[in-house]
Every structure is written in structure tokens, then in C-alpha cells.
Amino acid sequence: MNRSSRFAQLIATTIAALALLVIPPRAQDVEPKPPERPFLWRIDGETPSFLFGTIHLPDERVTTLHAEVEAAIERCDALYTELAMDMKLLSAATKGMMLPRGKTLKTVLPEEVHAKLEAFFAAREMPLAPMERMKPWVIASQVALFDHLTEIAMGKALDLQLYQRAEDDDKEVGGLETIEEQMGVFDGLTDLEQGEMLRKAIDQVEDFKAKGRDLYEELIKSYVDGSGAQLEALMNEADDDSELSKRIEKALLHDRNHRMADRIAVKLREQPQRCWFFAVGAAHAFGNTGLVKLLREQGFAVTRVPESPANLDEEIETLESEVKSLQERIDALRARRASFKKAG
């Protein structure tokens, strides 16, 4: 999956409120089993708190929660998602995703990209006209999961379910970011840059389809399996190393991770007696700039739960990778020191 597809997954949070905020959940035919390895971490402190990696989809295979997650939600005093999911968000998101008056996709996109988009919609017997006023990056976020939009629109995304459940239980709720901060990632992009992002997203969807692959199902399988390595591998597949992609990924993933980690740390330090539950997209948890590592660097003990051989193996692999990285830095410093001695 190239970075354009990765963007589509990550920015799904930004648009989730539009389609899912007021739609009732669909009825269940068969009671699904919860994931055996939830993306759940305990943050030790005066009162333990929790970090939960979500996936911004309403599929019952991901919204059915593991007992450890259920217990953490019941225990918490406050639950924070990436965004505060209220009507203010809905209004701001709706406004922020629309092109300025007088502009349409046809007027801002290169002719070749608009033709590609028209063909994409026509192949699915869907009209493009209702989408013409939306910004290109919004369309890019939707085409990656376009063949499953009906299923997505039939339920409430996992994050929204958690948020509304906490509200119903009279817990404190809120967002780690604002919609303006999230959308600000794209406000600095030119129409041509957004058009290129859209073109790559369409190409990736068509490439998956030609290979008989289903991004929606692969995302869900990776999430349900609970393997961080598997999820990262899917997201990093066929990486696009263009400067535009790198710039957007830095702003969309890495910079946001630092911002969210800092805000989580403030809450944990200012009110250590409270049990906090932070629910963010699982993609934000892993990697060198993931929330787990960033919180550990700020001095917090963060442990994946429930304890299991698979989770312990993952922890060992992570620590071994960090040790290897540190050893490489040590070796480089020793080599530099040796060169100074030799020169002297």
C-alpha cells in the first residue's frame, strides 16, 4: 500500500463524523467474537490509565470488544478520542471539507485526474455530481474504501461508539486534537498536490482490485489479528517515496503523534489520580514516532495487555530493535572518537 492509501486510512478519522454521527447501528445477525489480541496498553501510574488503538470502521468484527477493553472502559473516569465527536465537530468538518464557492472538482483537478475519477465512479454505477463540491483530499480518503461505503454507512465507527458510550455513562469525554488541526494538514496543499494525492489513491484501489485483493478486509484482518507488525506491513506496502508523500505523512502521522503524546502526558501528570482512556487509530501507536514509544520516552511505563506469549514476543522484538539502533549509534560515535585520536 502506498502512502496515498495510508493517508486514506489515517484521515478517515477526519470524515467519520459526517457519515456516522447520527446513523443508528445495524442489527447483528450473528454475535461476532472479539479480537483475541486487542491493541490495548496499560499506562502505569498512581491510577493505571489506558491507550487503545482503534480502527475507524463500524464493522462488528472490530466493534465487539475484548473483555480487557470492556473492563478498562468501565473503570475509566474520562475517555478521549482523537476528536471530540459532537455537533460542533460535524459542522466544522462539513464546512472544512467543501471547496470554496464557485469551485468544483472539475475546475480544480487536472483534466486527466478528473477523467480518472469519473471512470472510477462510472464503473460502480454511481454519480459523481453529488461529490463535485468536495475537496480532492476528501474524495481520496473515500475511494480507498469505496466498494464498502454501504457497509460503512450502515453503522457507527468504533471510535464513535466508544465516545457515545462514555457520554451515556456520564464520563468526561473530549478530543486530543481539534478538527482545525487535523484539516490543517491539507489546507496547505495546492489543488495540484491534492489532485496527485487523489490520482494515487485511485490507482492503488484499482491495483488492489486487479490483484483480487480487498483493502477493507485486509485492514480488518490485520486489526483483528492484533499484530502490530502485520498492520504496519500492510500500511507500508509499496511505499511511495515522493517528497509530497513524505511531507504529508510527517504532518499527518508523526507530527500529530508528538502533539497527542504531549497532551496525553499533561493529563496523566496533572491528574494522576484519574483513570484515563485514550482511543486513537492503531496506526498512531506503533513505530519510532508512535504513541507507545513517545510516552515511554516521557517516562511512563506502557505495557500491552492482556499479557500473552504473542504480546511478550512483540515487546521483545521492539526492545531488541531499539537496542540494535542504540548500538549502531554507539558504534558510530566510537568510530568518530577513534578518528579524532588517530588524527591527533
Question: What pLDDT digit, counting tens, does each position of 14-62 carry?
Answer: 444 333 333 344 444 567 888 889 999 999 999 999 999 999 999 999 9
Query: What is the reported pTM?
Result: 0.85
pLDDT at 30: 62
pLDDT at 31: 74
Longest Cα–Cα distance in the chain: 77
pLDDT at 29: 54
| Whether residue 343 is found in the same domain as residue 278 | no
| Whether residue 22 is found in the same domain as residue 167 | yes
pLDDT at 26: 44
| Whether residue 113 is found in the same domain as residue 216 | yes
| Whether residue 212 is found in the same domain as residue 315 | no
pLDDT at 4: 38
Domain with 216, as residue range(s), is 3-306
**Long-range contact set of residues 201-205: C-beta below 8 Å, sequence gap at least 24:** 201/4, 201/5, 201/7, 201/8, 201/140, 201/141, 201/143, 201/144, 202/116, 202/117, 202/120, 202/143, 203/4, 204/1, 204/2, 204/4, 204/5, 204/144, 204/238, 205/5, 205/120, 205/143, 205/144, 205/146
| Whether residue 195 is found in the same domain as residue 260 | yes
| Whether residue 300 is found in the same domain as residue 319 | no
CA pair distance 96, 180, nearest whole angstrom = 8
- Is residue 105 within 8 A of residue 117, CB to CB? The reply is yes
| Whether residue 269 is found in the same domain as residue 335 | no
| Whether residue 197 is found in the same domain as residue 299 | yes
Q: Which residues of the chain have pLDDT under 70?
A: 1-30, 238-240, 344
| Whether residue 245 is found in the same domain as residue 340 | no
| Whether residue 29 is found in the same domain as residue 176 | yes
| Whether residue 323 is found in the same domain as residue 202 | no
Q: How many domains does the chain have?
A: 2
| Whether residue 128 is found in the same domain as residue 267 | yes
